Amino acid sequence: MKKEKLLDNGLIKLFKDFLQEPMPKGVSWPHTLGSALIALITVQIVTGILLAFYYSPNANAAWESVRYIETRVIFGKIIRGIHYFAASGMVILIFLHMMRTFFYGAYKRPRQLTWVFGVFLLLLVLGFAFTGYLLPWDMKAYFATKVGINIAGVVPVVGKYLIKILQGGPEMSSITLSRFFTIHVIILPISLLALVGLHIFYIRYYGPTPPWLKEGDPVTYNGRFYPGQLFRDSLVAFLVIAIIVTLAVNFGAPLDPKANPNDTSFIPRPDWYFYSLFQLLKIFEGKLEIIGAVILPGAFFTLLILLPFLDRNPERRLSKRPVAVTLGGLTVFLIILLTAWGAYEGEKAKKAMVKTKEAELTETKKEAVDITQGDAGEGAILFAELKCGVCHWSTSQDVNIPPGLEYSGNKYQPDWLLDFLLQPYRIRWEKKNVRPVIRMPNFGLTRQEALNIAAYLMNMRRDDLFTSPNFDWSEADEDFVTSGKSLIEEYGCLGCHKIGDEGQNIGPELTHVGSKLTETYMFHLIKNPNELIPGTPMKNFKLSDEEVIDLVAYLRTLK
């Protein structure tokens, strides 16, 4: 009886008071951002817990565990995608929430501490973004985090100690990853929940700020939190989560090749919410780095915290706060400008890096390829160490993503295989115009390592499946090629495949298929697709041997 009375007088009363809270006139849609942010925090906690079940905070296994989540865990790709996009959503929402609070003058007395706790919440959200960024342990995460840690080292007096605390040694390693993981899943969440609790307490204590009225003006109330504002808060939160889920399902979270500290050609670039800081570092280089790394960001957040104590003007109307509104608008403009500028510079740097890689690959191609120079035994060991079997564990079947490797020696041209191992690129489509999340990572292999793996893969053969057709491919003259090209059009192959600028992005692209696949493999795949790849969506047109030879004669010219 006492427990029921306590419940009725405690939690139920608190809930009823919450629903019946009076809403000042003017409180409407702009005031829904805080509730949407809390909804995303909840989403992050739930998805973070689910990801932590499978994640391994170790430099030797972190990337592989993320890859496992993406490819093996039920809904793992979507859960990680939600966590990834919700992180950006939190940054956007808290930025918009603080903008609304500033321009509405809701930071003024007596709500100074509410604003201060909000600023610390912004810092915590950015802290989540920074520490979570490293966890996939891919190239982008590794080098961008390294830049971030080096920025901490610029701080006078304590900089070198901050690097030791964050990095845990002379170089980034498993210790670094373990510390970032601990900060991300224990220290920051506890701090976040405490700050959110304090922030909400002060909001409830003082109530919603009456829009545009200074403290002491008579307040008109036009309803209660339930049902009007509760409906608006719930709808906005639902729409935000729906957008996040849609992005996660359609795009997923990116995963670059596994971190390779020896790849000095990689140009680090952060996620978009750090572009403004990234650009400040580009503006203030060398001896001026401390200005962009410490002084300007430090001054900005210090002013944010002190704002309600510095701005003594009791007015909240925009027209009566010209100085504050102008400075606030200019600050927002500069943040957006620096973010856009950083995005542009980052994209330019990315293109430059791609050109450099292509130039390196071109130089590599100039060397003659002799697969016998590879050590198949060493290749088998490297294949196991890189955990290639995590993706290529299955035999060829269905959509064949990733492809089975059980008859690689019958399937691939040695030159193409070596080039692909050195510089992987996307080939397949999961559905029309949609690339699969699964992609071959760039392991940063040396030429000899790639030769060793290629030699190992070329030994994987099923000669019983690939009897050579009774035809000498060197005799495939222009008539064969022309006939094959006509058959491509006749049977609608471009309805699924693309050759040059023609065709559809559904099946693998055929633009350079002649340098990739052997003639014998193409012959048997076209002749009987389901025999080589059970369950493949590729149609069996029941072609004669002569027709298949014509098709292959054309395809082998596409190099």
Assess contact for 294 and 154: CB atoms under 8 A. yes
Where is average pLDDT lowest: 2-11, 414-423, 460-469, 507-516?
2-11
Q: Are residues 407 and 543 in the same domain?
A: no
Q: What is the mean pLDDT of residues 363-379?
A: 65
In angstroms, the CA 446 to CA 408 distance is 21
Q: With 80 as the cut, is the pLDDT of residue 399 above it?
A: no
Supply the pLDDT for residue 268: 76
**Could you report the per-residue pLDDT of 27-38, keeping only the tens digit for each?**
888 999 999 999
Q: Are residues 125 and 252 in the same domain?
A: yes
The CATH number covering residue 209 comes to 1.20.810.10
What tokens appear for 477 in the block?
């003259």
Q: With 80 as the cut, is the pLDDT of residue 434 above it?
A: no
Residue 7 lies in a domain: no
The CATH number covering residue 514 comes to 1.10.760.10
Supply the pLDDT for residue 438: 66
Residue 503 is inside which H or E element, if any?
strand 502-503
Residue 275 lies in a domain: no
Residue 505 lies in a domain: yes
Q: With 70 as the cut, is the pLDDT of residue 394 above it?
A: no
Supply the pLDDT for residue 383: 84
Q: Are residues 349 and 406 in the same domain?
A: no
Bridge partners (DSSP) of residue 517 are 412
Supply the pLDDT for residue 364: 47
Residue, of 253 and 501, whose pLDDT is higher: 253
Residue 271 lies in a domain: no
Domain range enclosing 356: 321-361
Q: Are residues 237 and 307 in the same domain?
A: yes
The structural domain count of the chain equals 4
Residue 23 is inside which H or E element, if any?
strand 22-24
Instruction: Please choose, from the candidates 502, 152, 115, the residue with its C-alpha nearest in 3D space to the C-alpha of residue 309.
Output: 115
Residue 492 lies in a domain: yes
pLDDT band of residue 368 (cuts 50, 70, 90) is: very low
Q: Are residues 297 and 372 in the same domain?
A: no
Q: Is the peptide bond before 227 cis (omega within 30 degrees of 0)?
A: yes
In angstroms, the CA 539 to CA 26 distance is 63
What tokens appear for 176 in the block?
């670094």
Q: Are residues 98 and 218 in the same domain?
A: yes
**Could you report the per-residue pLDDT of 244-254, keeping only the tens digit for each?**
999 999 988 98
pLDDT band of residue 118 (cuts 50, 70, 90) is: very high
Residue 35 is inside which H or E element, if any?
helix 33-52
Q: Are residues 521 and 422 in the same domain?
A: no
Residue 408 lies in a domain: yes
**Could you report the per-residue pLDDT of 161-196, keeping only the tens digit for each?**
888 888 888 888 899 999 999 999 999 999 999 999
Q: Are residues 111 and 55 in the same domain?
A: yes
**Could you report the per-residue pLDDT of 446-498, keeping only the tens digit for each?**
888 888 888 888 888 888 888 888 888 878 888 888 888 898 888 888 888 88
Q: Are residues 137 and 71 in the same domain?
A: yes
Kindly state the DSSP code that residue 61 receives in the 8-state scheme.
T
Residue 523 lies in a domain: yes
Residue 94 lies in a domain: yes
Q: Are residues 338 and 402 in the same domain?
A: no
Kindly state the DSSP code that residue 431 receives in the 8-state scheme.
B
Mean pLDDT estimate for the chain: 86
Q: Are residues 248 and 379 in the same domain?
A: no
Where is average pLDDT lowest: 40-49, 70-79, 331-340?
70-79
Instruction: Please choose, from the candidates 303, 321, 300, 314, the residue with its C-alpha nearest in 3D space to the C-alpha of residue 108.
Output: 314
Q: Are residues 397 and 545 in the same domain?
A: no
Please compute, for residue 371, the number of CA atoms within 13 A of its CA located in the half-sphere on the CB side.
19
Q: What is the mean pLDDT of residues 144-161?
A: 86
Give the Å distances, CA to CA, from 334 to 93, 122, 148, 168, 295.
18, 18, 21, 35, 16
